């Protein structure tokens, strides 16, 4: 690695590779809700700190935060005294990052084609990115390429959906069916294989559990509506939205009557290194 900070290009955005249509659909939600992201995804800030603690970068070392979002990892890395570069493909997220973190280098960039010289960083982080990208193997290959020998990557993904929540996933899929071949995001089990194929070593995986009891069906609706449900509900015709709400409340009331409602904000953390 050179002693100079890497200088990113101004833009390396969507449309830079195959499958960009599906990828653009994946990140459009983040573009539309940049200012409400931390309110919608309440665990993001905590996971940002956990990722930085996991990677344990030294002060003054160079950290690349890929898919930086609202800056949870960027904030934690700057607090350690790291030299941080934060990239995201959503223009609104990039504007928010530049506004909120003047101490970081911020630019718009596609994770599938990182505009940096190989070996530019000692640490690369990616919070929940592998859950939405359409070619996770390609993204991991790029992360490996821009890491210096001995550098570390720290990644997070959503934890597996627990059986008690399958009813809600099935309900959501009924009202918002995914377009065919829209996404090839990796599961946590896939990721270990993909990391090995990308050339990483010392791969470890850890589940972080975050159970949050909810007092009842109405409280669950308020919690999810404030976080993510409004994004989908606003796309439905009024009669379909009303039907979804009725079905949701029936499912939540059944859950409450059979053991109670507990939101599980679980995450899987991956740590690996470049030999």
| Residues 94-113 as b or e (16 or more Cβ within 10 Å = b) | bebbbeebeebbbbbbbbbe
CA 18 distance to own-chain centroid:
21
Q: Would you state the structure tokens that stand for residue 51, as one six-digit string?
A: 């990722």
Q: d(Cα 9, Cα 108) in Å, to the nearest integer?
A: 8
Q: What is the model's pLDDT at position 17?
A: 35
β pairing state of 147-158 and 121-127: parallel
Are 269 and 206 in contact by the 8 Å Cβ rule? The answer is: yes
Query: Residue-wise pLDDT tens for the chain (275 aa)?
Result: 333 334 333 333 333 333 344 445 445 555 554 455 555 555 556 788 999 999 999 999 999 999 998 899 999 999 999 999 999 998 998 999 999 999 999 999 999 999 999 999 999 999 989 988 889 999 999 999 999 999 999 999 988 889 999 999 999 889 887 654 444 567 776 899 999 999 999 999 999 998 989 999 999 998 888 666 666 787 789 999 999 999 999 999 999 999 999 998 889 999 999 99
The dihedrals phi and psi of 202, each to the nearest 5 degrees, come to 60, 40
In this structure, what is the dihedral angle of CA atoms 233, 238, 243, 244, given to the nearest 10 degrees? 0
C-alpha dist (Å) from residue 232 to 1, 40, 198:
45, 13, 35
Q: What is the model's pLDDT at position 13?
A: 34
Q: Is 127 exposed, middle or buried (0-12, 13-18, 19+ CB in 10 A)?
A: buried
Q: d(Cα 41, Cα 224) in Å, to the nearest integer?
A: 10
Directed axis angle between helix 238-257 and helix 166-175, to 10°?
A: 170
Question: Closest by alpha carbon to 157, among 214, 87, 226, 208?
Answer: 208
């Amino acid at each position: 690695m050179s002693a100079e900070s890497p200088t990113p290009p101004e833009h390396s955005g969507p449309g830079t590779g195959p499958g960009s249509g599906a990828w653009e659909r994946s990140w459009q939600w983040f573009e539309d809700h940049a200012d409400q992201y931390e309110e919608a995804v309440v665990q993001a800030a905590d996971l940002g700190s956990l990722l930085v603690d996991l990677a344990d970068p030294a002060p003054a070392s160079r950290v690349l935060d890929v898919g930086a979002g609202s800056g949870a990892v960027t904030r934690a890395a700057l607090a350690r005294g790291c030299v941080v570069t934060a990239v995201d493909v959503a223009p609104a997220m990039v504007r928010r990052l530049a506004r909120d973190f003047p101490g970081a280098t911020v630019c718009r960039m596609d994770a599938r084609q990182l505009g940096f010289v190989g070996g530019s960083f000692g640490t690369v982080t990616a919070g929940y990115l592998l859950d939405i990208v359409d070619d996770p193997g390609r993204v991991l290959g790029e992360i490996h390429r821009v890491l210096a020998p001995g550098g570390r990557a720290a990644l997070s993904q959503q934890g597996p959906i627990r059986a008690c929540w399958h009813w809600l996933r099935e309900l959501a899929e009924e009202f918002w069916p995914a377009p065919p071949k829209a996404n090839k995001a990796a599961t946590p089990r896939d990721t270990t294989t993909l990391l090995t194929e990308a050339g990483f070593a010392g791969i470890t995986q850890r589940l972080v559990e975050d159970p949050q009891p909810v007092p009842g069906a109405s409280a669950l609706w308020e919690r999810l509506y404030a976080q993510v449900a409004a994004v989908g509900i606003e796309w439905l015709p009024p009669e379909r939205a009303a039907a979804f709400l009725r079905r949701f409340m029936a499912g939540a009331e059944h859950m409450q009557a059979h053991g109670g409602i507990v939101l599980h904000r679980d995450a899987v953390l991956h740590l690996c290194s470049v030999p």
